[in-house]
């Protein structure tokens, strides 16, 4: 009887509209029953030609476009472009602006990781943490709204500084928010880490080996969860990160659980940086005096800036011909490499593991498709 | 085999009246019985549909409060008729029938699911005089008819001609069949002590207050209850065992192609099933309608059942989902041995008369 039964592989299109692909990612899965034989990511559904659009905009006009490059951490996009432009024009940024930038970048990193926490838990089937994660994220979004009036795409960090000074109540409210988040982190880990189902679903699942991660240019939390200590804030310091006392969390196993816990560790470190930055926030200018949005014209040349975003290395390569508009803007996002490495190690597991794996890679499609 | 309907005292008069009126028309006894039972069926159906609607509202409120939201608030006090409005909306919606479906299978799947969900209530003892038919094989009958649900899920998965739906249907079939074994074994543990399959006999064997109920009376009770409630959660396809409709993996599993009222039938059936397994748990382990006499028996039954339902709902909003192979491992490598060991030890105790 068994000899007569014939099985065949079949193709399942996961996405572009699928609850677990976080946007319009399409994964073509070749399946053998519930087991995945082959993964083919199909990208481009969210391509908006950001790089090309930027070539026809002045430097100041590029920033709101690049807000959409990675909309979960818009501050980082603002910052990395400003950093590249400042390197081109060799501008020194005022002290207060540097502190404000660090505060915003770290707040945005926490917001992004809180979203990650919620979404990952939801992908593994626990709905409630999603709401908890968003609840605390709201505290940070309120701070951003108070500062620049926007909740998602901020257009706040500009070439030569920041666009507006923070309101008076920002510092006390920020201290309160990071205190609440620090306390709630214990709840978060308590809710999931002591649940045997969660541990079974994440521990030892979808191990990304360090050498494969390095070979595919994976960076950020995913790389550090595979045991590689590499953080641009430490290895190639930018802004004023070398002034703060913080650790780079590393976890050895490279499985889903480590990738999730590493982000929780990172939130703790971000809170450390934030409290130091809030303590040391000086008075003074918030923007370089000579930089005006309408007339900013860097000399001809090229510059590359890279920062540690919540999804790995985010970089912008900027070429200028001395005019008001950049000649070329090349973006680099961590999600792209994380999506490329997925087919290499994500096969030969069940579809439920793929969902957990994909969630903990924290791929966000605008950063892949640009 | 089928006993006469035993009814709540107030309703009894009504049925006496109906019966007499029907006999006066000169119909044969068979027709009189059929009409009487049909009337009963309609009443049970109505009450249960109402319960299912309210369970949906309840689930939404509980999930909202677990997640620090309010949930439905617009329709009436705390949105009490929100689900009624939702049902009305679903009634009006277009019934989308994909071209590539298997016509017969696709149509009958929700119907079978819906009907199977209600069949168990024929023998459910709602109160001391409130049962439609006290079958002498009551619990066996329930186990038999609730299994119809698997067929309907498989049919829905196959008839939809959709890979996600098919995966969902296959998963649910594998899951329900696996969890049926520990479920029956934990029910049998109680049956051994009762010595009867009739639902009324099971309740009457536990007459009295809390320490007469099997969950506290015999040491096998708590173990059997825990294994039963785990298996029952799996039987209802609820988190942490909701892999047949795992939203993040299979979009929504077997019912992905259904819309409008057909979807509502699956949805309502799910909540009726949840009420069924809770009601069985109450009957077997928590003394059914037994309690203090000054509170009507049906309120005891309903109250206890709703507490078990609350437990199932809290599971859903706290736990992540198991993976399909882990689910099978849990059933066959843990639940089955535990329930069978429990059953065998209970049998030995009963045989030698060592029980309490």
pLDDT tens readout for residues A329-356: 898 888 888 888 888 888 888 888 888 8
Domain-embedded: residue A108: yes
Listing from the earlier edge strand, what are the strands of the sheet with A301-309? A301-309, A312-320, A326-332
User: Considering only CB atoms, which chain B residues are within 8 Å of A350?
Assistant: 323-325
Domain-embedded: residue A195: yes
Residue A135 — very low, low, confident or very high, per pLDDT cuts 50/70/90? Answer: confident
User: Considering only CB atoms, which chain A residues are within 8 Å of B318?
Assistant: 126, 128, 191
Domain-embedded: residue A23: no
User: How many domains does chain A divide into?
Assistant: 1
Interface of B with A (CB under 8 A): 63, 66-69, 163-164, 167, 171, 239-240, 242-243, 246-251, 317-326
pLDDT, mean of residues B204-209: 80
Helices (H) and strands (E) in chain A, counts: 14, 8
Looking at every residue in chain A, the average pLDDT score rounds to 86
pLDDT number for residue B13: 63
Looking at every residue in chain B, the average pLDDT score rounds to 82
What CATH number corresponds to the domain at position A101? Answer: 1.10.645.10
Name which of A241, A239, A261 is nearest A252 in CA terms: A261
pLDDT of residue A278 exceeding 50: yes
User: Which one is predicted more confidently, B38 or A142?
Assistant: A142
Domain-embedded: residue B236: yes
| CA–CA min distance A132, chain B (Å) | 7
CA gap A219, A240 in Å, rounded: 21
**Do A50 and A328 touch, CB atoms closer than 8 A?**
no
| CA–CA min distance A9, chain B (Å) | 12
DSSP 3-state assignment of A313? strand
| Partner residue opposite B318 with nearest CB, options A18, A128, A352 | A128
| CA–CA min distance A123, chain B (Å) | 5
State which H helix or E strand residue B14 sits in.
Answer: helix B9-24
Q: If you measure CA to CA, which chain B residue comes closest to A191?
A: B318
Residue B285 — very low, low, confident or very high, per pLDDT cuts 50/70/90? Answer: confident
Please report the ipTM that was assigned to this predicted complex.
Answer: 0.73
Q: How many residues does chain A have?
A: 370
Domain-embedded: residue B293: yes
pLDDT of residue B108 exceeding 70: yes
Cβ neighbourhood burial of A125 (10 Å; 0-12, 13-18, 19+): buried
CA B139, chain centre distance (Å): 12
pLDDT number for residue B103: 83
Domain-embedded: residue B82: no
Domain-embedded: residue A16: no
pLDDT number for residue B355: 65
Q: In this complex, do B320 and A201 lie within 8 Å of one another by their Cβ atoms?
A: yes
Domain-embedded: residue A19: no
Expressed in angstroms, the distance from the first to the final Cα of chain B is: 32
| Partner residue opposite B323 with nearest CB, options A121, A127, A353 | A353
Q: Which residues contact A234 (CB under 8 A, 6 or more apart)?
A: A241, A248
- For residues B234, B239, B240, B242, the Cα torsion angle rounded to the nearest 10 degrees is 60
DSSP 3-state assignment of A189? helix
CA gap A247, B278 in Å, rounded: 51
pLDDT number for residue B3: 45
Expressed in angstroms, the distance from the first to the final Cα of chain A is: 53
Read off the pLDDT of residues B134-172 as tens digits, 9 standing for 90 and up.
778 888 888 888 888 888 888 888 888 888 888 888 888
Per-residue DSSP letter, A350: B
Q: Which residues contact A312 (CB under 8 A, 6 or more apart)?
A: A218, A219, A220, A221, A222, A223, A333, A334, A335, A337, A338
Residue B1 — very low, low, confident or very high, per pLDDT cuts 50/70/90? Answer: very low
DSSP 3-state assignment of B4? coil
Read off the pLDDT of residues A208-247 as tens digits, 9 standing for 90 and up.
888 888 999 888 888 898 888 888 888 888 888 888 888 8
Read off the pLDDT of residues A151-189 as tens digits, 9 standing for 90 and up.
888 888 888 888 888 888 988 999 999 899 988 888 888
| CA–CA min distance A151, chain B (Å) | 21
User: How many domains does chain B divide into?
Assistant: 1
pLDDT of residue B129 exceeding 60: yes
User: Considering only CB atoms, which chain B residues are within 8 Å of A19?
Assistant: 247-248, 251
pLDDT, mean of residues B78-90: 85
**Do A264 and A188 touch, CB atoms closer than 8 A?**
yes
User: Which residue range is the domain that position A146 belongs to?
Assistant: 47-369
User: Considering only CB atoms, which chain A residues are within 8 Å of B66?
Assistant: 128
User: Which one is predicted more confidently, A262 or B287?
Assistant: A262
User: Considering only CB atoms, which chain B residues are within 8 Å of A191?
Assistant: 318
pLDDT of residue B2 exceeding 60: no
Domain-embedded: residue A310: yes
Read off the pLDDT of residues A98-107 as tens digits, 9 standing for 90 and up.
898 899 999 9
Domain-embedded: residue B51: no
Q: Could you tell me where the beta strands, DSSP code E, fall in chain A?
A: 10-14, 26-32, 35-42, 157-158, 161-162, 301-309, 312-320, 326-332
pLDDT, mean of residues B229-255: 77
CA gap A310, A111 in Å, rounded: 10
Top residue of B62, B170, B249, B316 to mutate, by most chain A CBs within 10 Å, is: B249
pLDDT of residue A140 exceeding 80: yes
Residue A2 — very low, low, confident or very high, per pLDDT cuts 50/70/90? Answer: low
User: Which residue range is the domain that position B313 belongs to?
Assistant: 94-351
| Partner residue opposite A350 with nearest CB, options B67, B239, B324 | B324
Q: CB atoms < 10 A from the CB of B76, how many?
A: 13
Residue B300 — very low, low, confident or very high, per pLDDT cuts 50/70/90? Answer: confident
Bond from prior residue into B240 cis (ω within 30 degrees of 0): yes
pTM of the model: 0.83
Q: Which residues contact A144 (CB under 8 A, 6 or more apart)?
A: A75, A104, A107, A108, A150, A151, A154, A156
Q: In this complex, do B317 and A128 lie within 8 Å of one another by their Cβ atoms?
A: yes
Q: How many residues does chain B have?
A: 356
B163 vs A17, A34, B160, B254, CA distance in Å?
Answer: 15, 11, 9, 9
């Amino acid at each position: 009887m068994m000899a007569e039964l014939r099985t065949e592989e079949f193709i399942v299109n996961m996405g572009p509209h699928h609850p677990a692909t976080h946007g319009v990612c399409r994964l073509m899965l070749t399946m053998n029953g519930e087991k995945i034989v082959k993964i083919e990511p199909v990208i481009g559904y969210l391509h908006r030609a950001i790089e090309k659009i930027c070539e026809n905009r002045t430097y100041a006009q590029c920033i709101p476009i690049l807000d959409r490059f990675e909309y979960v951490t818009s501050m980082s996009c603002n910052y990395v472009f400003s950093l590249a432009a400042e390197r081109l024009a060799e501008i020194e940024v005022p002290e207060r602006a540097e502190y404000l930038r660090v505060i915003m970048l770290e707040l945005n990193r926490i917001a992004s990781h809180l979203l990650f926490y919620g979404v990952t838990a939801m992908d593994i089937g626990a709905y409630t943490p999603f709401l908890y994660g968003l609840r605390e994220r709201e505290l940070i979004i309120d701070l951003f709204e108070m500062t620049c009036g926007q909740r998602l795409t901020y257009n706040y960090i500009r070439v030569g500084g920041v666009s507006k000074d923070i309101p008076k109540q920002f510092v006390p409210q920020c201290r309160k928010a990071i205190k609440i988040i620090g306390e709630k982190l214990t709840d978060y880990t308590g809710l999931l880490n002591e649940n045997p189902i969660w541990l079974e679903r994440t521990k030892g699942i979808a191990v990304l080996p360090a050498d494969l991660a390095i070979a595919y240019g994976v960076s950020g939390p995913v790389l550090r969860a595979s045991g590689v200590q590499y953080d641009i804030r430490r290895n190639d310091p930018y802004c004023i990160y070398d002034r703060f006392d913080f650790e780079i969390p590393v976890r050895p196993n490279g499985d889903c659980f480590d990738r999730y816990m590493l982000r929780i560790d990172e939130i703790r470190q971000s809170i450390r940086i934030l409290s130091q930055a809030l303590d040391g926030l000086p008075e003074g200018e918030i923007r370089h005096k000579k930089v005006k949005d309408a007339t900013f014209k860097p000399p001809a040349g090229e510059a590359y800036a890279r920062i540690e975003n919540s999804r790995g290395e985010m970089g912008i390569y900027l070429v200028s011909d001395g005019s008001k508009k950049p000649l070329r803007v090349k973006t680099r996002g961590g999600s792209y490499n994380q999506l490329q490495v997925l087919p290499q190690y994500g096969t030969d597991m069940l579809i439920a593991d793929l969902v957990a794996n994909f969630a903990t890679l924290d791929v966000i499609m605008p950063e892949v498709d640009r | 085999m089928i006993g006469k309907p035993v009814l709540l005292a107030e309703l009894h008069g009504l049925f006496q009246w109906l019966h007499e009126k029907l006999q006066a028309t000169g119909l044969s006894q068979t027709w009189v019985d059929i009409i009487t039972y049909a009337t009963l069926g309609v009443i049970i159906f109505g009450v249960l549909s109402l319960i299912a609607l309210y369970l949906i509202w309840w689930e939404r409120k509980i999930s909202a409060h677990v997640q620090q939201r309010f949930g439905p608030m617009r329709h009436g006090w705390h949105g009490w008729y929100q689900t009624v409005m939702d049902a009305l909306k679903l009634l009006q919606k277009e019934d989308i029938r994909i071209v590539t479906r298997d016509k017969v299978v696709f149509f009958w799947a929700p119907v079978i699911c819906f009907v199977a969900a209600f069949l168990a209530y024929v023998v459910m003892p709602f109160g001391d005089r409130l049962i439609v038919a006290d079958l002498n094989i009551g619990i066996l009958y329930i186990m038999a008819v609730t299994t119809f649900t698997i067929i309907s899920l498989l049919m829905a998965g196959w008839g939809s001609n959709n890979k996600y739906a098919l995966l969902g249907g296959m998963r649910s079939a594998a899951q329900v069949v696996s969890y049926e074994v520990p479920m029956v074994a934990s029910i049998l543990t109680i049956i051994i002590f009762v010595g009867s399959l009739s639902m009324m006999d099971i309740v009457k064997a536990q007459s009295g207050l809390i320490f007469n109920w099997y969950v506290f009376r015999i040491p096998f009770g708590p173990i059997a209850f825990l294994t039963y409630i785990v298996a029952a959660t799996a039987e209802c396809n609820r988190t942490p065992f909701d892999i047949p409709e795992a939203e993040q993996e299979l979009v929504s599993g077997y019912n992905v192609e259904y819309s409008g009222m057909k979807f509502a039938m699956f949805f309502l059936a799910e909540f009726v099933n949840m009420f069924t397994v809770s009601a069985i748990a109450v009957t077997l382990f928590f003394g059914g309608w037994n309690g203090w006499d000054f509170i009507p028996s049906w309120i005891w039954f309903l109250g206890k059942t709703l507490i078990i339902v609350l437990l199932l709902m809290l599971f859903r909003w706290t736990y992540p989902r198991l993976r399909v192979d882990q689910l099978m491992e849990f059933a066959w490598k843990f639940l089955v041995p535990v329930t069978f060991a429990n059953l065998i030890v209970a049998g030995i105790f009963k045989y030698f008369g060592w029980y309490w």
